[in-house]
Amino acid sequence: MKSKAKIIACLALSGLLSACSGQKPATVTASIPAVKPQAQAGRKMYYIPSPPLPGQWTVEDILQAYGAFATRKLNPYFAKAKVSYPPREVIFIALKQERKLELWARDSGEFRHIRDFDIQAASGVAGPKLRQGDRQVPEGIYRIAELNPNSHYHLSMKISYPNEFDLFHAWQEGRADPGSDIFIHGKAASIGCLAMGDEAIEELFVLTAQVGAENVKVVIAPHDPRAYPLEADSLELPEWTPELYSIIAREIKNLSPEVKSAKTRF
């Protein structure tokens, strides 16, 4: 019986890892619903005909299904910040300790803070991601590499981890597998990704699709450097962590001179 229980547990963990990575394992293909679930019961939706087979949604399908609702929710925040919608550029600032994702955008001139979203789950601790399977949310400056409309976590956006900085230090230290498949996604569970909940990921996904993934930057920090300095205060952190934290802090602090009290909390 104990052996059987171990096998079941291993299979369950395997399925979870595949789901978070956005890949579609053959054993759970049938679990993908033909119609995406509503993130909020009773709201007005604009459904499209089901795709021919499960798991064949396109980004355009998602825009048709959620675009109007997400745009209506985001527009007042952009109007208040005096930024046109959709904007020209977007920056997501993810703060691991605060469990918060800040949305900044601009059409011209400086970036302006639009709104905050609560991060529902983010596994790991302060410090950069070093290897596959460490369940760490990475830290650094990234781009949106891919929009995945068929995620097992409702919707997901793949970030460009590992970037050149990550790969250089992995090579320098002989780490052959620094990991990959890090996403910003829906639901509220994380094994190295940023889980935002279903309704929030709909807004973020739609915004990114409308702006263009190439115009979206993602900055992930262990905590808010505007509150207190980013310091590599653990002997377990790599010796290059201070350099990384200097890059991250500069990126966030250069966004805008505005005081955080001007922000609107989600």
- Measured CA to CA, the distance from residue 237 to residue 15 in angstroms comes to 30
- Domain assignment present for 31: no
| H or E element that contains 30 | none
**pTM assigned to the model:** 0.81
- Domain assignment present for 15: no
- Domain assignment present for 7: no
185 is annotated as an active-site residue: yes
Q: Per residue in 23-69, pLDDT tens? A: 443 333 333 344 454 445 445 555 555 665 767 899 999 999 999 99
DSSP secondary structure string for all residues of 93-105: EEETTTTEEEEEE
| Catalytic residue of the set 20, 152, 169, 193 | 193
In this prediction, residue 47 carries a pLDDT of 54
Q: Per residue in 144-170, pLDDT tens? A: 999 999 999 999 999 999 999 999 999
- Domain assignment present for 30: no
In this prediction, residue 126 carries a pLDDT of 92
For residue 179, give the nearest of 236, 140, 148 by alpha carbon.
140
Show the domain range for 241. Answer: 43-224+234-257
| Number of domain units in the chain | 1
- Domain assignment present for 11: no
Radius of gyration, alpha carbons of the chain: 19
- Measured CA to CA, the distance from residue 60 to residue 83 in angstroms comes to 24
- Domain assignment present for 32: no
- Domain assignment present for 183: yes
| Catalytic residue of the set 113, 154, 169, 185 | 185
In this prediction, residue 36 carries a pLDDT of 54
How many CA atoms does the CB half-sphere of 7 hold within 13 Å?
4
193 is annotated as an active-site residue: yes
- Domain assignment present for 4: no
Q: Higher confidence at residue 4 or residue 119?
A: 119
Q: Per residue in 93-139, pLDDT tens? A: 999 999 999 999 999 889 999 999 999 999 988 999 999 989 999 99
CATH number for the domain harbouring residue 59? 2.40.440.10
The two beta strands, 183-185 and 194-195, are parallel
Residue 118 near residue 152 (C-beta atoms within 8 A): no
